[in-house]
């Protein structure tokens, strides 16, 4: 059964769409569409799910796609979605490595303002992006941010870094937090509260993550204040998110405890497990982007649903253009 192109005029908040389980935030799509189409290159665009999201984004007026991959596979996938002869530019490649390299070359040449990971491994794509000959690195460290949209809940949270930096040191963590603040700003969070996660809310000398969280929170507090943010750590996950847990543990005066907007994880294993628990048990939509390169990079798990890919494209569209006052204070 073919998935029809959804209409922006009929989407309602928290409406589950094609999969029947995951919600794509309508407000995010509307804001991205209002910016007008932006050129986006897709590395290894051979997956039906990727092409479905790309087609919807193009139909909504968010992007003009450049599809890098095997032409016959792309044509077959589009045909399977009922999109025979879709007027997209296709650049032929053979294999993951070449797809990543050509997509990165197109970004370096200025032919696209957004890069999207298709059906290829993250390390393959990032290796091409970080190749110094292309000059695509803009920050000393790149980082990944998931904005987790959970239908039926009053708030959304950001998780970083769950996909790129394996065991970030303090310098890398600085870029991770700065990039998360940038995403929070684009999503309309006027005073993001940043929780440096550990398994405890007190410093434990036998738990290195608690020591690192405490040290980083202290070192970043002045910058956080200057950016209109609050930061605290170490905080256990329950204390970061639950006012009741924060009160029980005597942290009612902590500026972040019980109200965290950004969860900064100590390592990739923690972040990866956390976002996948939310996706698979709570049907959260994981909206994923990488910042720090010349353009925002749409980077979701290959197993993520179409809704996550579409919403991630929308977020990248907002991040690729100057922030304006349009939109509301509501994140989505």
Rounded CA gap, 165 and 264, in Å?
12
pLDDT at res. 7: 52
What per-residue confidence (pLDDT) applies to 273?
A: 96
- Position 156 scores a pLDDT of 85
Provide the pLDDT for residue 12: 39
How many Å apart are CA 102 and CA 113, to the nearest integer? 14
Q: In what order do the strands lie in the sheet with 114-117?
A: 89-92, 63-69, 38-43, 114-117, 297-298, 285-291, 143-149, 157-160, 262-264, 193-197, 230-235
Q: Flag whether pLDDT at 68 surpasses 50.
A: yes
- pLDDT tens, 129-141? 999 999 999 999 9
Q: What is the rounded end-to-end Cα distance, in angstroms, of the chain?
A: 30
The SS3 assignment for 175 reads helix
pLDDT tens for 256-271 read 999 999 999 999 999 9
Question: Which distant-in-sequence residues (6+ apart) come within 8 Å of 330 by Cβ?
Answer: 27, 188
CA distance 56 to 69: 19
Query: What confidence category does residue 323 fall into, taking pLDDT thresholds of 50, 70 and 90?
Result: very low
What are the DSSP E strand ranges found in the chain? 38-43, 63-69, 89-92, 114-117, 143-149, 157-160, 193-197, 230-235, 262-264, 285-291, 297-298
> Which CATH number does the domain 140-291 belong to among 3.40.50.1700, 3.30.70.920, 3.40.718.10, 1.10.510.10?
3.40.718.10
CB atoms within 10 A of CB 54: 30
Fold for domain 14-138+293-302?
Answer: Rossmann fold (3.40.50)
Instruction: Map tokens 């292309």 to a residue.
Output: 134
Residues 218, 209: Cα–Cα separation, whole Å: 14
Q: What is the mean pLDDT of residues 153-175?
A: 93
11 exposure class (CB count in 10 Å sphere: 0-12, 13-18, 19+): middle
- Which has more pLDDT, 195 or 301? 195
Instruction: State the pairing for strand pair 297-298/285-291.
Output: antiparallel
Report the C-alpha gap between 159 and 142 in whole angstroms.
15
Strands (E) in 6-92, as ranges, are: 38-43, 63-69, 89-92
Beta bridge partners of 197: 235
- Res 154 pLDDT > 90: no
Domain boundaries, the chain: 14-138+293-302, 140-291
């Amino acid at each position: 059964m073919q998935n029809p192109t959804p209409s922006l005029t009929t989407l309602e908040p928290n409406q589950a769409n094609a999969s029947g389980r995951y919600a794509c935030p309508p407000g995010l799509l509307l804001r991205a569409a209002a910016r007008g189409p932006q050129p986006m290159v897709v590395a290894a665009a051979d997956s039906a799910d990727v092409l479905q999201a790309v087609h919807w984004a193009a139909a909504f007026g968010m992007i003009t796609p450049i599809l890098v991959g095997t032409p016959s596979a792309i044509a077959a996938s589009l045909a399977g979605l009922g999109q025979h002869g879709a007027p997209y530019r296709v650049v032929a490649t053979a294999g993951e490595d070449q797809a990543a390299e050509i997509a990165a070359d197109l970004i370096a040449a200025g032919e696209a303002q957004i890069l999207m990971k298709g059906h290829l491994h993250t390390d393959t794509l990032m290796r091409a992006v970080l190749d110094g000959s292309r000059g695509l690195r803009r920050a000393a460290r790149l980082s990944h941010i998931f904005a987790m949209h959970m239908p039926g809940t009053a708030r959304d949270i950001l998780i970083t870094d769950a996909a790129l930096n394996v065991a970030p040191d303090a310098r890398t963590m600085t870029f991770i937090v700065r990039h998360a603040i940038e995403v929070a700003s684009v999503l309309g969070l006027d005073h993001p509260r940043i929780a440096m996660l550990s398994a405890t809310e007190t410093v434990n000398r036998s738990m290195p993550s608690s020591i690192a969280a405490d040290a980083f929170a202290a070192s970043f507090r002045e910058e956080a204040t200057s950016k209109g943010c609050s930061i605290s750590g170490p905080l256990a996950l329950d204390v970061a998110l639950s006012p009741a847990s924060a009160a029980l543990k005597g942290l009612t005066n902590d500026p972040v405890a019980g109200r965290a907007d950004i969860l900064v994880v100590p390592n990739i294993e923690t972040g990866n497990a956390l976002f996948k628990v939310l996706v698979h048990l709570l049907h959260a939509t994981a909206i994923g982007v990488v910042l720090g390169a010349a353009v925002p990079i749409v980077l979701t798990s290959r197993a993520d649903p179409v809704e996550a890919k579409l919403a991630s494209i929308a977020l990248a569209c907002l991040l690729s253009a100057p922030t304006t006052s349009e939109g509301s204070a509501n994140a989505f």
